[in-house]
Amino acid sequence: MPFRDADDVTTYIGGIFEAAFEDPELADKLRATGVVLQMRFHEPAADVVVDLINQSVHDSAEGLAVGATLAMSAETGNAYWQGKVNLPLAMAKGQVKVDGKVAGLLKLAPLSKRLYPTYVARLQADGRHDLVV
């Protein structure tokens, strides 16, 4: 199990977006997708909900109009945000389950690519080499 607990997941996966919202150009593009993305992780169980419109990260979807939900193990999630998981193949293998509009996720795809290096850099800066894949 790569992450220690739910807080660890929220800190790092949620942190990807918190960092992205600090970048004005990226923040605008993320807002334009109009997506509220929920990531439901297991092992450990954790919810990371990213409201790209209001640029906030939550640990529950309560009160938010979720556009798409991605369900996967935290290990898959960790690899996904490092660009190491092929989404359609992972969906075909049942490693990632998607509820809601995949179209919204596709709008996010070109931006996600820009998030991978910052995530890896953060893990390295924090000495979390155990999470780098």
Partner 1 sequence: MTTTTTRVTDLDFWARPFEEREEVFARLRAESPVSWHPPMEGGIMPSEREGIWIVTRHADIAEVSRDPERFCSGEGVQFEDVPDDLLEASHSFLAMDAPRHGLLRKLVSSAFTPRQVAKLEDQIRAQARAITDGLLEAGEGDFVDLVSRRLPMWTVYEMLGLDAAQQEHAAHLADRMVGFNDPAVIGDDEPGDVLNEALVGLLQIGLAFADERRSHPADDLMTNLVNAEVEGQRLSDDDIAAFFVLLSVAGNDTTRNTISLATHALGRHAEQKAWLAADFDTRIGTATEEFIRWATPVMTFRRTATRDTELAGQPIARGDWVGLMYASGNRDERVFDRPRELDLSRHPNPHQGFGGGGPHFCMGAFVAKMQIREITHQLLTRAPSLEVGEPVFQVGNFVRAVQQMPCRVR
Where do contacts with partner 1 occur on this chain (CB under 8 A)?
Answer: 85-89, 91-93, 101-103, 106-107, 109-110, 113
Beta bridge partners of 37: 50, 68
Nearer Cβ to partner 1 (45/103): 103
- C-beta of 105 vs 123, nearer to partner 1: 105
Compute the least distance from the CB of residue 105 to partner 1, in Å.
Answer: 8
**Distance in Å, CB of 59 to partner 1, minimum:** 27
User: What is d(CA 37, CA 57) in angstroms, rounded to the nearest whole number?
Assistant: 10
CB of 116 to partner 1, least distance (A): 11
What number of CA atoms fall less than 13 Å from residue 51's CA on the CB side? 13
Query: Omega before 44 cis (within 30°)?
Result: yes
Q: Are 61 and 51 in contact (CB under 8 A)?
A: no
For partner 1, the closer CB: 14 or 67? 67
